[in-house]
Amino acid sequence: MVAVDLPLDRDFDLRLQAAHRFWLALEQRPLGRPPLAQSVGTRHRHILALRAMDGWREGNSYRKIAQGLFGHSRIPDRGWKTHDLRSRTIRLVQTGLRLMRGGYRDLLRRKRRDRDDTC
């Protein structure tokens, strides 16, 4: 017999889900989606951010980074300074740098929802 001791703290619901997944694994049943799993879109943004940051650290311009990420055909010859992909590329580089400087730890933490909004 296996027992699980769960403290009644602010992460109780997450611990309960983990304990349930552990029980499913012991029973050799399908586990389903992990409670802290990211959506496909979020994973894709993180991948783009890390690729953009790598390009920036290698000394590439934002235009070159955008061409590598989004393709040459999507980058205009004129009007680059005001193009939306330029702004997106800059944000991706900043996100990648934040992840590199320790923000990756936030991926392991669950975002808290305000309990007051549920009333």
| Residues with Cβ within 8 Å of residue 69, at least 6 apart in sequence | 48, 51, 52, 55, 89, 92
- What pLDDT does 112 receive? 55
pLDDT in tens, 25-67: 999 999 988 877 788 898 899 999 999 999 999 999 999 999 9
What is the pTM assigned to this prediction?
Answer: 0.65
Per-residue model confidence (pLDDT) at position 103 = 79
Q: Which of 9-13, 48-52, 94-98, 105-109 has the lowest mean pLDDT?
A: 105-109
Closest Cα partner for 88 from 55, 58, 47, 52? 52
**CA angle 92–97–99, rounded 5-degree value:** 95
Q: What is the mean pLDDT of the chain?
A: 86
